[in-house]
Amino acid sequence: MKVLLSWLQEFAPFPSDDPVALGDVMSDLGMAVESIERIGEGLDGIVTVKVLELRKHPDADKIQLVDVDLGDGEALQICCGATNLTVGDIVPLATLGTTMPDGMEIARRKMRGEWSNGMLCSGRELALGEDHSGIYILDPSLALGTPIVEALGITPDVLFDLEINPNRPDAMSVAGVARDLAARLGLPFAIPSPTVDELAGDASSIASVDIIDPDLCGLFHVRVIEGINVEPSPRWIADRLTALGMRPINNVVDASNYVMLELGQPNHTYDLSKVPGGALRVRWARDGETITTLDGIERSLTGGRDGVITDATDAPVGIAGVMGGASTEISETTTSVLLECAWWQPMAIARSSKFMGLRSEASARFERGVDPAIAELAARRLAELLAPSGARLVQGSVTVHGDLPVTPAVRVRTNRVNQLLGTAIATDEIVSLLTPIGFVCEEAGESDVFSVTVPTFRPDTTTETDVIEEIARHFGYSRIVGRAPTSAHTGSLTPIQRDRRIIRQILVGLGIHEAMPLPFLAPGDLARCGLPPEAVTVTNPLAAEESILRTSLRPGLLRAIAYNESHRTDSAALFEIGKAFGVPSAGTTLPDEREHLAVALAGADAFAVARIWAVLAETLGLDGIAIDQSAPPAGLHPGRSGVLLSGGVPVGEIGEIDPGVLDALVIRERVAWLQLDLGAALAAPHGEHRYHHISRYPSSDLDLAFEVSDSVAAATIAAAIREAAGPLLVDLSLFDVFRGHPVPDSHRSLAYRLRLQATDRTLTEEDLSGIQRTVVDAAASVGAVLRG
């Protein structure tokens, strides 16, 4: 919502000297000032000139050379990018040394080798509107060299652009902003009563209204205006509309818009001659009905959703609260106008405008709630604005009521106000804060409890808390003294939140970067990564690439690997912790949402990621998770991958990405891969790390090499050794793996070093040879033959 200072001043005596301070007050009231523009300032140095000649720039297609005359008969060369000039036009020139409203300084400069001795200005450059399509063409009768402010008759003013919250329908008008501001500044506020010279007659014999559906329309007020001469608006009206962002059209349409901006009452003017019998009806639309709206578009209506105004023949002549119809539009031949000021059910207008994709200044106001009490005054104000063109309001009116919301008085407790705000505001002060914004406070028979009658322009305010917000707003948020409450708890992370930090620290320490690819996938992404295509889809994606929710972190990280490779970063090492979304399990609505950890190492083999997994598992104390290579996961290298099993239940996958998948994704290097379902993996108790007593007695090492078939996992041998060696084994390491002669084909030699130690004595040769026998027997039982 934009407001002009001069317009605000028609309602209350606001000072002109410090617009910034005034803007700060508006912001503090919740009408945030997005910008302040000083109209007519910064235009010194801009004068009228006449276009003498237009010439082609020898070295640029988009610039032409314009010779202009400042009144001294001399040709002055200007370079100009606009193409709307003709010889003889009077246009504004910013002369050398001028500082433009946006702060730019005009200096003599060369543009592609040609001198430019100033700048010809568009409307936007003059801060006179948004038009930047060409140079602002002036009245041809103007004397050359006239300052632009004088030539245009610009009155200095200040334009505030305000952000209005949805709960402030009152602030969608100049008068409403003025009321709020005047209340805070303690200035008297009044909406002037329009002075209208009414024409004898009776509107109710000319027009009639029938509200068929009272749940759609709360109020329909009609007046008749005769003696219409459709012509351009007076300059001051056109200027104000332009400043507030509306395009002037003709005096009738402009007066209609002016009243909406000023008083917040959207209204509609019908050409009375095009409304048979002056009769209007209001009802819900029926399916299949159509109407051509003022913008010339034929629109089909939906029954029960859209409201319509029809004529006596039941033909729609307007979409309720959204836009009027073309059939009754004001034209040059219009002499009589039927004026509608209505109150529409806000939710109906919101629905209608949303689903029709048609938002108008009118619908924006109706859906927030218009003041039903302003209709009558708004109609007279419109007639007052049109009076100079000869238009006269016919005596009498038609006012029909439907369902208007009733607003019961709100019971407000001073105690509650202060409890919720943390203040100590006395009842008297509360009353003095509410009264100037139209809230009527009366005693309610109990001490420090009072009854508040909310004005009709504040339909948003219906509860005690709503009123407390108004009190806080006018008391001033900045006057509420902060105090931090003492928490009833000790702040802490949950176990999973702590584990996540540990995992991230380990992976970063191992040289891996954390990435966060988007969780959206394109159709086919899962299949390309060798994953099942079943996934949750997005109903209304902006692009196909964002239409599927990932079921795995694999596609996202592999895309990042490919991105890095294509930007000459080979061997990228990435990890991610994020959600994967499985299709809902039976009987549930929400996806099977799980937090996964994934690691992708380009240019590394499965051993690299297995080593990382070993470090992670040991640090987190996840000793119960095994790698099972018997059925490699889909999309992973069949010979170099396995499933991570926790108590027989899959909780992840480890290995390398299948070379076929890498080809499909155009990734050149090998990619080692780990994915873990964190919730499942960390569900079991873990990470306890009990203290083991460190023995004072010497330890002994036993080196044993076994010949083992490739079909037996090294982990199986290690487990057998561990169990057989018992508590005396303090460390077991695999220190050599060897394939080739003399080890038979499909076998390898695995060499283990066992460090043995007792806590109460030095181990003897007999102890060691006993353990060796037991270990060798145990290894043999799982297929490991001791090498001689």
Partner 1 sequence: MIDDIKRIGADGPARIAAATSVEELRAVEADLLGKKGELTALKKGMGGLDPEGRKVAGAALNDARESLEAAFASRRSELEAAERATTVAAERLDLTELVDLPERGSLHLVTQTWDRLVDVFIGMGFTVAEGPEVETDWYNFEALNIPAAHPARGMWDTLYVDLGDPETVLLRTHTSPVQIRVMTDGEPPIYAVMPGRVYRRDTADASHMPVFHQIEGLVVDRNISFADLAGTLEAFTSAYFGGSIHSRLRPSYFPFTEPSAEYDINCVFCEGNGCRTCGQTGWLELGGCGMVHPTVLTNVGLDPEEWSGFAFGFGLDRLALMRHGVDDIREMYTGDVRFLEQFPS
To partner 1, the closest distance from the beta carbon of 602 in angstroms equals 10
Of the pair 549, 771, the CB lying nearest partner 1 is at 549
The residue within the footprint of partner 1, chosen from 573, 671, 728, 784 (CB under 8 A), is 573
560 binds partner 1, rule: CB under 8 A: yes
Alpha carbon distance 99, 125 (integer Å): 11
Helix (H, G, I), strand (E, B) or coil at 497: helix
For the beta carbon of residue 223, count every other beta carbon within 10 angstroms.
Answer: 29
Alpha carbon distance 726, 580 (integer Å): 42
615 binds partner 1, rule: CB under 8 A: no
Of the pair 283, 474, the CB lying nearest partner 1 is at 474
CA nearest 387: which of 226, 268, 504?
A: 226
To partner 1, the closest distance from the beta carbon of 216 in angstroms equals 15
The secondary structure of 84-117, three-state, reads CCCCCCEEEEECCCCECCCCCECCCEEECCEEEC
To partner 1, the closest distance from the beta carbon of 90 in angstroms equals 36
The residue within the footprint of partner 1, chosen from 25, 32, 409, 617 (CB under 8 A), is 32
Of the pair 192, 584, the CB lying nearest partner 1 is at 584
Mark residues 534-553: x for contact with partner 1 by CB under 8 A, - for none: --xxxxxxx---x--x----
Of the pair 500, 787, the CB lying nearest partner 1 is at 500
Residue 599 sits at φ, ψ, to 5 deg, of -125, 130
Site residues (CB under 8 A) for partner 1, limited to 490-519: 490-494, 497, 501, 504, 507-519
For the beta carbon of residue 75, count every other beta carbon within 10 angstroms.
Answer: 12
The residue within the footprint of partner 1, chosen from 420, 626, 664, 712 (CB under 8 A), is 420
To partner 1, the closest distance from the beta carbon of 97 in angstroms equals 24
Per-residue DSSP letter, 723: H
Give the largest CA-CA distance in the chain.
130
423 binds partner 1, rule: CB under 8 A: yes
Helix (H, G, I), strand (E, B) or coil at 577: strand
579 binds partner 1, rule: CB under 8 A: yes
Which tokens belong to 35?
A: 């910008």
To partner 1, the closest distance from the beta carbon of 104 in angstroms equals 16
To partner 1, the closest distance from the beta carbon of 657 in angstroms equals 16
Of the pair 45, 519, the CB lying nearest partner 1 is at 519
The residue within the footprint of partner 1, chosen from 111, 421, 626, 704 (CB under 8 A), is 421
Residues 6+ apart with CB under 8 A from 71: 49, 143, 144, 145
Residue 642 sits at φ, ψ, to 5 deg, of -160, 170
To partner 1, the closest distance from the beta carbon of 569 in angstroms equals 5
Residue 312 identity: A
* Span of 6-14, 194-202, 438-446, 563-571 interacting with partner 1 by CB under 8 A: 563-571
Site residues (CB under 8 A) for partner 1, limited to 582-601: 584, 589-591, 593
Site residues (CB under 8 A) for partner 1, limited to 273-332: none
**CB distance 523 to 499 below 8 Å:** no
Mark residues 695-724: x for contact with partner 1 by CB under 8 A, - for none: ------------------------------
333 binds partner 1, rule: CB under 8 A: no
To partner 1, the closest distance from the beta carbon of 278 in angstroms equals 34
Of the pair 517, 633, the CB lying nearest partner 1 is at 517
Of the pair 138, 671, the CB lying nearest partner 1 is at 671
**CB distance 288 to 415 below 8 Å:** no
**CB distance 284 to 410 below 8 Å:** no
To partner 1, the closest distance from the beta carbon of 688 in angstroms equals 23
Which tokens belong to 535?
A: 């996934």
343 binds partner 1, rule: CB under 8 A: no
**CB distance 269 to 256 below 8 Å:** yes
To partner 1, the closest distance from the beta carbon of 598 in angstroms equals 12
Residue 21 identity: A
Of the pair 592, 710, the CB lying nearest partner 1 is at 592
The region, left, alpha or beta by phi > 0 then psi within -120 to 50, assigned to residue 197 is: beta
Mark residues 448-487: x for contact with partner 1 by CB under 8 A, - for none: ---------------x-xx-xx--xx---xx-xxxxxxxx
30 binds partner 1, rule: CB under 8 A: yes
Of the pair 421, 617, the CB lying nearest partner 1 is at 421
To partner 1, the closest distance from the beta carbon of 646 in angstroms equals 22
To partner 1, the closest distance from the beta carbon of 347 in angstroms equals 6
572 binds partner 1, rule: CB under 8 A: yes
Alpha carbon distance 351, 410 (integer Å): 29
Alpha carbon distance 121, 132 (integer Å): 9
Which tokens belong to 423?
A: 């203040």
Of the pair 268, 474, the CB lying nearest partner 1 is at 474
**CB distance 175 to 69 below 8 Å:** no
Of the pair 131, 361, the CB lying nearest partner 1 is at 361
Mark residues 35-54: x for contact with partner 1 by CB under 8 A, - for none: --------------------
Mark residues 349-388: x for contact with partner 1 by CB under 8 A, - for none: -xx--x------------xx--------------------
Name the helix (H) or strand (E) containing 512.
Answer: none
Alpha carbon distance 189, 13 (integer Å): 8
**CB distance 234 to 241 below 8 Å:** no
The residue within the footprint of partner 1, chosen from 381, 458, 559, 640 (CB under 8 A), is 559
Q: How many residues bind partner 1 (CB under 8 A)?
A: 92
Site residues (CB under 8 A) for partner 1, limited to 148-177: 165-168
To partner 1, the closest distance from the beta carbon of 178 in angstroms equals 17
Inter-CA distances, 330 with 198, 272, 391, Å: 22, 9, 14
184 binds partner 1, rule: CB under 8 A: no
To partner 1, the closest distance from the beta carbon of 676 in angstroms equals 17
| Angle, alpha carbons 98-104-109 (nearest 5°) | 75
End-to-end, the C-alpha distance of the chain in Å comes to: 92
Of the pair 90, 661, the CB lying nearest partner 1 is at 661
607 binds partner 1, rule: CB under 8 A: no
Q: How far is CA 530 from the centre of its chain?
A: 35
To partner 1, the closest distance from the beta carbon of 751 in angstroms equals 28
489 binds partner 1, rule: CB under 8 A: yes
* Span of 43-51, 560-568, 755-763, 771-779 interacting with partner 1 by CB under 8 A: 560-568
Alpha carbon distance 538, 196 (integer Å): 58
To partner 1, the closest distance from the beta carbon of 437 in angstroms equals 13
Which residues are bridge partners to 122 per DSSP? 135
**CB distance 536 to 546 below 8 Å:** no
The burial of 444, by beta-carbon neighbours within 10 Å (0-12 exposed, 13-18 middle, 19 or more buried), is given as: middle
Mark residues 675-694: x for contact with partner 1 by CB under 8 A, - for none: --------------------
The burial of 18, by beta-carbon neighbours within 10 Å (0-12 exposed, 13-18 middle, 19 or more buried), is given as: exposed
Residue 355 identity: F
